[in-house]
Structure 1
């Protein structure tokens, strides 16, 4: 079976590559109050995203969602014109997305790192493809696809080999699980509002809503005592994170997610640790370990299996019968799906 919707796959891969390769640059802001810095990053990104939404209001809304996701009944669709102002339900979803998928995700990582080795935290977060493969279909009333679940499991196993393992206490494990929940919620909640609002608005609203939540968390965490003006390097780093890692990566991921569906796009989260590994190897000037290299191959295998699977509910295409035929043509399986870049 051919891998379908190449354009959407490339968008998701682009988003994950940007995030994974940007991990190393985050080392430049370790001395700055973390939650305050994240609030500044999302505030700057929100300004840029709202400007894009105002200038190109139809960006990302031109093509219909992927045929891999079953069509909703009219009663289930969000009211209002496509790309309009969020409804009360959408505001609630966006707020929860900002609270769990952005603010809580960052907070859980900060809690976990003093109690768990970074590799173990990354391995927990790397289990997101399996969670998305299971929960995505269930939340829309469908059934998980066995092949997608198996492929997600292969990706998770490969991610564990790439990241490695480490030690952690109970707090580290619980916080890592919280970060995993945030990573899963980020895509699940976004998928619920993407069909009508589009990728740019979903990214803009979620970033804007995360700012006050992060500032409150910073107050609770005692960061005001360490507040100071960022250095030139820190300012440049946060600008990079806001522009590339947030604006570009979020819009690319949400656009691909809207077209592929949650469970199929979720498989591509496995690209992120691979991008981190490759970037680190290039910077260090030495090849990755044998175990990490094997992990990359396992991730690629899982991606191939997952992207070539047909999600539950997707039907093979059947051509229209000709006027002079008394019986319809045999069913023809079509794996190609259109997507506009």
Structure 2
């Protein structure tokens, strides 16, 4: 695995771990209006991201056509505002594990949808890794009580998670991770305000108390600013298919952090599920294959010292690890 791929994998993993660890912050916002909370989160994140957008940001935004602006609006509506609303709606009649299981299937959907959008076949290794990640996510969370409405909203949450990755692909290159994050946060803030006014009227934006303000600040500054930029930087390096594999780390991070705040336990099922997720990520991202190739291409001490021995081993290493040519 070369330096670019390694950095992309680490960035995607960090983003998903931050999201998984943020569930504690979500638990203290149950009484705060949904749309108002989303507005504060994304508006603050937008203000923090604007100085990081880089030079020429205005020119790059002006160069976007109407189609790409529509895509950005859909990305914010489906992958951010709609996703969070779907999860909250699902949890009204279903246990939290139910939407979590559906969202855990996002790597499988992305592994199929993205290649088809590019006019190519899905990669088997990525698809198999995604299936393993989905099974691991299910094992970590289990299954809970639900009804038809809970399942329907959970499917909507899955669509939102997929849309957050797929809709960003055509606009990631012209905007870059930081400007893309800032733009979708600004759009999501406007959409959240519109939803709040329509749904809650004058009560859509009450003053948060100290605990709620701390949770919103954490979501804006850490989960959104750091998490979004890391996610899109990772996706830029390794692609949407492999980056979405790391979303399996969201329930793993949530399960690991739950005992720290007394909201859950980490038992045998969580340990097995975490191992399955890690195995799926390693297989789908190609890390395990590269490791096997490097091991097979290693020359034991004392070998290859004969005439032409070093040249033979060098050619063999290049053949087994194509990335070595790029180094």
Decide: shared fold, TM above 0.5: yes
Encode CA deviations 1:254-301: one digit per residue, 9 max, x unaligned. Answer: 000011011111111111111111111233398612111111111111
Q: Please say which structure displays the higher CA radius of gyration.
A: 2
CA distance in 2 between partners of 1:43 and 1:166 (Å): 34
Q: Who is 2:218 aligned against?
A: 240
Give the RMSD, CA atoms, in angstroms: 2.8
- Give the unaligned 5+ runs of structure 2: 289-314
Aligned to 1:276: 254
What is the 5 A alignment of 1:15-26? 15-26=15-26
Task: Please report how far the alpha carbon of residue 188 of structure 1 lies from its aligned counterpart in structure 2 after TM superposition.
Answer: 0.6
Aligned to 1:336: 323
What TM-score, normalized by structure 2, do the two folds share? 0.84
Superposition pairs for residues 165-244 of structure 1, below 5 Å?
165-222=143-200, 224-225=202-203, 227-244=205-222
Q: In structure 1, what is the Cα distance between the partners aligned to 2:325 and 2:221?
A: 29
Local SS of the residue matching 2:168: helix
Cα separation, partners in 2 of 1:125 and 1:227, compared to 1, 3 Å:
same
User: What is residue 44 of structure 1 aligned with on the other side?
Assistant: 44
The whole-number CA distance in structure 2 between the counterparts of 1:116 and 1:337 is 50
1:159 maps to which of 113, 137, 142? 137
In structure 2, what is the Cα distance between the partners aligned to 1:208 and 1:338? 42
Change (3 A) 1:193 1:285: closer
Distance 1:127 1:216 in 2: 30
- Equivalent pair of 1:264/1:306 in contact (CA under 8 Å): yes
Pairwise CA distance, 1:235? 1.4
**Could you say which residue in structure 2 is the equivalent of 1:67?**
none
The gaps in structure 1 that reach 5 residues or longer are 60-79, 311-328
Q: How many residues align?
A: 300
Q: 2: distance between equivalents of 1:181 and 1:218?
A: 22
How far apart, CA to CA, are the structure 2 residues paired with 1:131 and 1:181? 9
- Distance in 1 (CA, whole Å) between partners of 2:234 and 2:249 is 14
Q: RCO higher in 1 or 2 (8 Å CA, sep ≥ 6)? A: 1
Distance 1:101 1:45, change over 3 A: same
Higher helix share: 2
1:69-100 CA-to-partner distances (Å, cap 9, x unmatched) read xxxxxxxxxxx987874332221111110111
* 1:308 aligned residue: 286
Aligned-residue offset at 1:223: 5.9
CA distance in 2, matches of 1:227, 1:236: 16
> Aligned partners of 1:337, 1:39: CA distance in 2, in Å?
47
Cα distance in 2, alignment partners of residues 48 and 297 from structure 1: 36
Cα offset, 1:57, TM superposition: 3.1
- State the Cα distance separating 1:309 from its structure 2 match: 7.0
Change (3 A) 1:85 1:213: same
Residue number among 83, 86, 103 corresponding to 1:125 in the alignment: 103
Change (3 A) 1:172 1:148: same
SS in 2 for 1:114: helix
Query: Which segment is superposed worse, 301-310 or 124-133?
Result: 301-310
Report the CA distance between 1:218 and its aligned residue: 2.3
Counterpart residue number, 1:57: 55
Residue 226 to residue 191, structure 1, CA distance change in 2 (3 Å): closer
Aligned 8 A contact 1:98 1:207 in 2: yes
